[in-house]
A and B are shown apart, each in its own frame.
Chain A
Amino acid sequence: SQQGEEDPQALSIQEGENATMNCSYKTSINNLQWYRQNSGRGLVHLILIRSNEREKHSGRLRVTLDTSKKSSSLLITASRAADTASYFCATDARYIFGTGTRLKVLA
Chain B
Amino acid sequence: DTAVSQTPKYLVTQMGNDKSIKCEQNLGHDTMYWYKQDSKKFLKIMFSYNNKELIINETVPNRFSPKSPDKAHLNLHINSLELGDSAVYFCASSHRSVGGPGEQYFGPGTRLTVT
Contact = CB atoms under 8 A, between A and B. Distances in A.
A and B are interacting partners: yes
Contacts of B41: 86, 99-100, 102
Interface string B10-42: 000000000000000000000001010000111
Given A41-B108, A42-B107, A97-B35, A48 B102 contact: yes
B43 A100 contact: yes
A41 B4 CA distance: 13
Interface in A1-42: 2, 29-31, 33, 35, 40-42
B83 interface: no
B45 interface: yes
Contacts of B75: none
Interface string A39-68: 011111100101100000000000000000
- Interface size range on B against A: 20 to 34
- Interface size range on A against B: 20 to 34
A5 to B, nearest CB: 11
A47 to B, nearest CB: 9
B42 A99 contact: yes
A52 to B, nearest CB: 10
| Most chain A CB atoms below 10 A, which of B45, B90, B103 | B103
Given A33-B103, A43-B104, 4 more contacts: A33-B104, A90-B104, A95-B56, A96-B43
Interface of A: 2, 29-31, 33, 35, 40-45, 48, 50-51, 86, 88, 90-100, 102
Interface of B: 4, 33, 35, 40-45, 48, 56, 58, 90, 92, 99-109
